[in-house]
Amino acid sequence: MTDDQLLRYSRHILLDEIGIEGQERVLAAHAVIIGAGGLGSPAALYLGSAGVGRITLVDDDTVDLTNLQRQIAHTTERVGQPKVQSAAQAVAAINPEARVQTLQARADAALLDQLLPGATVVLDCSDNYATRHAVNAACVRHGVPLVAGAAIRFDGQITVVDPRNPRAPCYACIFPPEAEFEEVSCALMGVFAPLVGIVGAMQAAEALKLITGVGPTLAGRLMMLDGRSMEWSTMHVERAPGCSVCASP
């Protein structure tokens, strides 16, 4: 680690649980972030500022004026730009050392199979049910830990999927892909702006914990936030024996 890095990351290095060895793991890590919107913005900014050496941003959308109420990586001047490009600029402004790969594309199974080998952690910051299940299935296939978050209206949720733990459930254990869920969007239902910041920051925290090995993660727990009362509730979840994604053949 260089003198500049020792200074830049000194507040992490001072933590006994992280130290120089943990920060070196952060510098060597590769985080794949699916979605560069409300959740992906704070997640990318915190991972970039923390020194994650390589970040891959995946999103097929462009910055719209309505995004700016909550998607803090974007600016008025960048309306019309690809979100991945705008978010990469925001990360670089904080930490030019971070290597950010941008992919303006939808995260389908084929793309995920290309990206996940060699990834340290994946953050699902997407906004639709189909993508969440595609990301979960790919992480299970490749044995890569996943931090999954969601937010709509005043409701947020976060969990961790760790395929390396044979007892930990995957996203499909909690939300079976064959079940029918009503797809809702911010454009129709609205979203409380700070809520995505809270959940996205927690996703970054869980990702850094997975990278450094600090503390227990949210694997096996689904945390749900009611943004009106600012109350968290936790549901403990076990692996579903008949899960179509992670159950042993």
φ, ψ of residue 222 to 5 degrees: the values are: -110, 115
Residue positions counted in the chain: 249
Residue type, 31: A
User: 186 catalytic, yes or no?
Assistant: yes
Q: DSSP assignment of 42-101, as one string?
A: HHHHHHHHHT-SEEEEE---B--GGGGGT-TT--GGGTTSBHHHHHHHHHHHH-TTSEEE
φ, ψ of residue 61 to 5 degrees: the values are: -100, 165
Element (H, E) at 157: strand 155-161
CA angle 199, 200, 204 (to 5 degrees): 115
How many angstroms separate the CA atoms of 74 and 81, rounded? 9
Out of 170, 173, 186, 246, the active site residue is 186
Which residues are tagged catalytic? 186
